[in-house]
Amino acid sequence: MKISSSLIIPFIRFFSNAKIMEIAINTGFLKRKRDILPDTIVKTFIFGLISTPNPSLKQIASKCEKIQPGLRITKNAIYNRLPAISEFVQHIFIDTMKITLQKAVPAKITKILFQFKDVKICDSTKISLPDKLADLWPGLGRRNAKSALKIQGIYSLISSSFSSLESTKAPGNDTTYTKKLLSMIDKGELLIVDLGYFSKTFFEKLSNKDAFYLSCIRSNTAVYLDKAGEMKQVDLAEILKGHNLVDTTVFIGVGYKKQLECRLVAIRLSDEIVNERRRKAKKKAKSQGKQLSAKEIELLAFNIIITNANGDMLSSEAVCDLYRARWQIELVFKACKSYLNIDKLGNCGLYQLECLIYGRLTAICIAFLMYNAFYIEIYTLHQRGISMLLFIKLWADEASTISENINLSLTAIQEIYHILTRISKHSLHEKRKRKTTLEILQGYCLPKINYQNIA
C-alpha cells in the first residue's frame, strides 16, 4: 500500500467534503443557501462528465441529480448558477495543480535524465469552440473555426505529470508564449520544444539562467562557424553534406546582432523515413502552392537539433533520442482529446465553457498523477511500462466509481487503490522487440560528471 498512503490519501483528503466546502466558502459559492452541494459540482464537472462528449445543460442537470440523491434541478437552474460554478471549479483546478507539483513522484528508472533538476516538454493544442464565442475567443481565420482556444501544457518527462496547464488565445505563434514560459523554467532544468517556440533570444535567456534547451532548428536560420577567430556564415546543408552524424559548435542569429553559441547535432535518418518525410513535405507544399527547394529536400534527410547541453552530459545519440521523447506530449494531448473529451464541449456559452474546461483540466492533472505513480510501481514489479493511452482510457471509464469512493475510510482507500492497480495491470505494454523512446532512454547511463552539482 505504499502508493496509496503517499499519494491516494492526500488526493482523497483534498477532494473530501471538508476541503471542497472550504473552497466553496472562500470563492463565495456558498454565500447564500443552495440546493446543489459543492461536492456535487466537483463530482459532476471533474469526474461525472469525463465520458460525456458535448454535454448539454440538460445532461449536466441529470448528472447532478444522479450524484446528489433527492436533488431536483432544471437546466435553467444550472444555467443561472454557471458563473458561480465557473469560479468555484477554476479554484479547484488551481489548487489541484498545486497538489500535482507537490505530490509528483520522480520515476527513477531513466537515469540519464537525473542530471537535470527536471526535464520539461512544452507544447500546445488547439480546441475549436462554438462560433458565438468568436468575440471572446477568436479563431485562426480562413477555413478554420471562427472561435478557438489553445491549451498550453508543460509536461514533466521525469514525473509524467503537468507542471502547468492553461488556456490562451488561439491566434498567434507559440513564440508569444516564451516570455511566460521562461518564468516557469528553473536553473538546472531541461526544456524540450518544437519549432513553434524557436527563438534565439529565448534560448539565450534560458542559458543565462543556467537552464538547458533542446530544439529543432529552422531551415532558414543564419548559421555561422568560428574560423580562426572570424565568424563565417555557412549553409546548413553544406555542414551536413557527406556525413551521417554531425556534432559541432555553431553560432546562430543574423550577422549584425550578437549570435548565440550552441551545439548542433544532426543524424541522418533511414531511407524509409527520409522518403516518407519528403513525400509528406512535398504534398503539404503543393497544397499551399509552393515548391520545396533543393536545400529543404536535403535537410529532410536529417534530424537536426540545437542544444546548450555539452557532450559530457548528452551524447549525440542521447540528444536525438531525448528529442524524440517530445512526442510524449503529443500522446498526452491525444489521450486528453480521445478519452477525457477536452475538445468536445458542445454548443456552450462562456460560463459553461469555463466550467467544462477547468473541470476537464483538473481531471487531466489527477489522471496523469495517478499514471505516474502506478507506472513506477508496475515497472518495478514487471520490468515493463504501462501504456499511457490505455491507462487514461480505462481511468476515464472508472472516474465516476473513483469519485464515489472519495472519503478517508480504509475501505474507500483500498477500493480506489484496487481500481488503479487493476487499470495499471490491464495497461501493461506487450512484450516486444522494438523499444519505446522512454525504454531506449532507460538504457543510457549517467555520465561520470554531474554538471548540475558543479558550482
pLDDT score, position 448 = 47
- Alpha-carbon distance of 410 to 412, in angstroms, equals 6
CB 67 within 8 A of CB 46: no
**Among 242-256, 412-426, 440-454, where is mean pLDDT lowest?**
440-454
Comparing C-alpha atoms, which of 153, 41, 31 is closest to residue 89?
41
Q: Chain centroid to CA 356: how far?
A: 19
Q: Chain centroid to CA 319: how far?
A: 20
- Alpha-carbon distance of 237 to 18, in angstroms, equals 63
Does 397 share its domain with 353?
yes
Last residue of a domain, one of 277, 300, 316: 316
Does 205 share its domain with 306?
yes
Q: What is the pLDDT of residues 328-343, one digit of tens each?
A: 888 889 999 999 999 9
Furthest-apart CA pair in the chain: how many Å?
A: 82
The share of the chain scoring above pLDDT 90, in percent, equals 53
Element (H, E) at 317: helix 316-324
- Residue the block writes with cell 458535448: 54
Grade residue 255 by pLDDT with cuts at 50, 70 and 90.
low
Beta strands at 161-169 and 147-156: parallel, antiparallel or unpaired: antiparallel
Does 413 share its domain with 306?
no
Beta strands at 190-193 and 119-129: parallel, antiparallel or unpaired: parallel
CB 320 within 8 A of CB 265: yes
Q: What is the pLDDT of residues 282-321, one digit of tens each?
A: 998 888 888 888 888 888 999 999 999 999 899 999 999 8
| pTM of structure | 0.86
- Alpha-carbon distance of 364 to 165, in angstroms, equals 9
Please name the residues in contact with 86: beta carbons below 8 A apart, sequence gap of 6 or more.
351, 354, 355, 358
pLDDT score, position 5 = 56
Does 307 share its domain with 356?
no
Rounded to an integer, the average pLDDT of 405-420 is 84
Does 205 share its domain with 290?
yes
Does 294 share its domain with 351?
no
- Give yes or no for residue 455 having a pLDDT over 50: no
pLDDT score, position 432 = 62
Q: What is the pLDDT of residues 142-201, one digit of tens each?
A: 778 899 999 999 998 888 888 899 999 999 889 999 999 999 999 999 999 999 999 999
Quick check: is 454 in a domain?
Answer: no
Does 263 share its domain with 308?
yes
Give me the domain span that covers residue 99. Answer: 2-104+346-426
CB 28 within 8 A of CB 35: no
Quick check: is 338 in a domain?
Answer: no
Does 205 share its domain with 299?
yes
Eight-state DSSP code of residue 179: H
Q: Chain centroid to CA 201: how far?
A: 23
Does 289 share its domain with 242?
yes
Does 279 share its domain with 350?
no
Quick check: is 132 in a domain?
Answer: no
Does 239 share its domain with 309?
yes
Q: How far is CA 408 from CA 113, 416, 419, in A?
A: 36, 11, 16
Number of domains comprising the chain: 2
User: Between residues 70 and 444, which one has the greater pLDDT?
Assistant: 70
- Alpha-carbon distance of 259 to 184, in angstroms, equals 25
Rounded to an integer, the average pLDDT of 370-388 is 82
Does 22 share its domain with 99?
yes
Quick check: is 356 in a domain?
Answer: yes
Last residue of a domain, one of 316, 331, 362: 316
- Give yes or no for residue 449 having a pLDDT over 60: no
Quick check: is 434 in a domain?
Answer: no
Quick check: is 249 in a domain?
Answer: yes
Quick check: is 277 in a domain?
Answer: yes
- Alpha-carbon distance of 57 to 353, in angstroms, equals 11
Quick check: is 441 in a domain?
Answer: no
